[in-house]
C-alpha cells in the first residue's frame, strides 16, 4: 500500500502544480517578448481578445515574490458558489521596458480544458 501511495504522490503533486506552471510560463514568455508563447497560456477562444493587452506587456520583467493557488473549498462547492475551478494570485515587482518599477498584485482565474490548465486572462494586464 505504501508503495502505491509513494508512486501516486508525485503524480498528484505534479497535477496540482500545473496551474502554477502556466502562470510562470506566461510571465516567462512575456519577459522573452514571445507573444505566441504568452497567448498559448490562454484558452484558444480568449487569445485574440487578449492580444493587445499582452503585446503591451512584452519585455516587462516580473520578480515573483508570492504565488498562491486557490481552489474552491468543498463547502463552496456544496453551497453552489460561482467560483472558477482554480485561480492564481501573484505579488511581483514589475519592471517595464522603460525601467519603471513597482510592486503589483494580479489574480487570474484558471480553466482546465482536456487536462490542460490555462489562464482565463493575462496576468498584470
Residue 124 lies in a domain: no
58-63 average pLDDT score? 98
Q: What's the pLDDT band for 16 if we cut at 50, 70, 90?
A: low
Residue 115 domain boundaries: 2-119
- The answer as to whether 125 is a domain residue is no
| Structure confidence by residue, pLDDT tens digits, 65-116 | 999 999 888 787 778 777 678 999 999 999 999 999 999 999 999 999 999 9
Report the CATH number that the domain containing residue 63 is assigned in CATH. 3.10.450.50
Closest CA to 124 of 46, 45, 32, 60: 60
List of residues 6+ apart from 93 with CB closer than 8 A: 62, 63, 65, 101, 102, 103
What was the pLDDT predicted at 81? Answer: 76
Kindly state whether residue 46 falls inside one of the protein's structural domains: yes
Residue 52 resides in a domain? yes
Say how many domains are in the chain. Answer: 1
Residue 75 lies in a domain: yes
3-class secondary-structure state, position 19 = helix
Nearest of 117, 122, 109 to residue 38 by alpha carbon? 122
Give the percent of the chain with pLDDT over 90: 70
Mean pLDDT, the chain, whole residue set: 87
The pLDDT of residue 3: 56
In a domain, residue 18? The reply is: yes
Amino acid at each position: 500500500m505504501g508503495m502505491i501511495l509513494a508512486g501516486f504522490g508525485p503524480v498528484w503533486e505534479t497535477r496540482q502544480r500545473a496551474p502554477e506552471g502556466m502562470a510562470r510560463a506566461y510571465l516567462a514568455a512575456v519577459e522573452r517578448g514571445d507573444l505566441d508563447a504568452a497567448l498559448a497560456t490562454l484558452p484558444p477562444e480568449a487569445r485574440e481578445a487578449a492580444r493587445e493587452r499582452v503585446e503591451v506587456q512584452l519585455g516587462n520583467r516580473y520578480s515573483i515574490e508570492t504565488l498562491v493557488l486557490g481552489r474552491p473549498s468543498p463547502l463552496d462547492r456544496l453551497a453552489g458558489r460561482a467560483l472558477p475551478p482554480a485561480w492564481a494570485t501573484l505579488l511581483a515587482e514589475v519592471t517595464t521596458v522603460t525601467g519603471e518599477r513597482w510592486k503589483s498584485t494580479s489574480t487570474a482565474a484558471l480553466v482546465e480544458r482536456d487536462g490542460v490548465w490555462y489562464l482565463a486572462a493575462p496576468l498584470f494586464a
